[in-house]
């Protein structure tokens, strides 16, 4: 089980949060707000936040901009991971991935199953690395956002988390390019 090594420094990570919804406004976005609150409470930085409709081109366009922005280390999207005709977040994001993170979906579904049972199969939560930026797609409910952050992301984005975490490998995602700035 993971443990925190208090002898190591905390290193803040810069996140962008994207809500995918045809119906919500920023004021009504409980899922995005859940992620923002958890990111900031953990000591990380909210670099960007936006809402876009369930549209492949619009989702891909904003995430493409964010993964090109050297000041953004990770992107979390919420919404659009189901099976209805308008749920297109995985289709928008997965072509951007250089490397898929299949373990994220597996662990997310295990955590979700403990709370909502077999209904978890209605989610196509996905993740990967795109242009040396971590990208996660979680379902559009506050509960799913809590599960993803509390059960997975809060640990993996804490440099002190042992035996390993995302922060310590960030400088090696593109060793020849930009991430050397996250040294402890």
Residues 6+ apart with CB under 8 A from 53: 20, 21, 22
What is the model's pLDDT at position 174?
79
Of all helices (H) and strands (E), which one includes residue 10? none
Length of the chain: 184
> Positive or negative, the Cα torsion across 139, 119, 110, 92?
negative
CA dihedral 163, 12, 180, 134 (to 10 degrees): 70
Q: How far apart are CA 78 and CA 121, in angstroms?
A: 16
The SS3 assignment for 3 reads strand
What is the model's pLDDT at position 183?
47
Q: Is the pTM of this model over 0.75?
A: yes
CB-count exposure of residue 49 (10 Å: 0-12, 13-18, 19+): middle
CB of 65 within 8 A of CB of 108?
A: no
98, two tokens: 């250089």
Q: Which residues pair with 50 in a beta bridge?
A: 18
Q: Domain extents for the chain?
A: 11-171
Fold category of 11-171 in CATH = Molybdenum Cofactor Biosythetic Enzyme; Chain A (3.40.980)
Residues 6+ apart with CB under 8 A from 74: 13, 14, 15, 16, 133, 134, 135, 136, 157, 166
What is the model's pLDDT at position 175?
67
pLDDT, tens digit only, all 184 positions of the chain = 679 999 999 999 999 999 999 998 989 999 999 999 999 999 999 999 999 999 999 999 999 999 999 999 999 999 999 999 999 999 999 999 999 999 999 999 999 999 999 999 999 999 999 999 999 999 999 999 999 999 999 999 999 999 999 999 999 887 655 544 444 4
């Amino acid at each position: 089980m993971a443990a925190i090594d208090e002898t190591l420094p905390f290193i803040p990570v810069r996140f962008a949060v994207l809500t995918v919804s045809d119906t919500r406004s920023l004021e009504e976005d409980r899922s995005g707000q859940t992620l923002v609150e958890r990111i900031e409470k953990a000591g990380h930085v909210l670099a960007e936040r936006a809402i876009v409709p369930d549209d492949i081109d619009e989702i891909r366009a904003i995430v493409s901009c964010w993964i090109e922005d050297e000041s953004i280390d990770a992107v979390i999207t919420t919404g659009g991971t189901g099976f209805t005709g308008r749920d297109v977040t995985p289709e928008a994001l997965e072509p951007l991935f250089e490397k898929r993170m299949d373990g994220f979906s597996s662990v997310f579904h295990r955590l979700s199953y403990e709370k909502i049972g077999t209904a978890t199969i209605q989610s196509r939560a996905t993740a990967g690395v795109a242009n040396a930026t971590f990208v996660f797609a979680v379902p559009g409910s506050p509960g799913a956002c809590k599960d993803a952050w509390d059960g997975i992301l809060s640990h993996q984005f804490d440099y002190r988390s042992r035996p390993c975490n995302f922060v310590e490998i960030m400088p090696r995602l593109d060793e020849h390019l930009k991430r050397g700035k996250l040294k402890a």
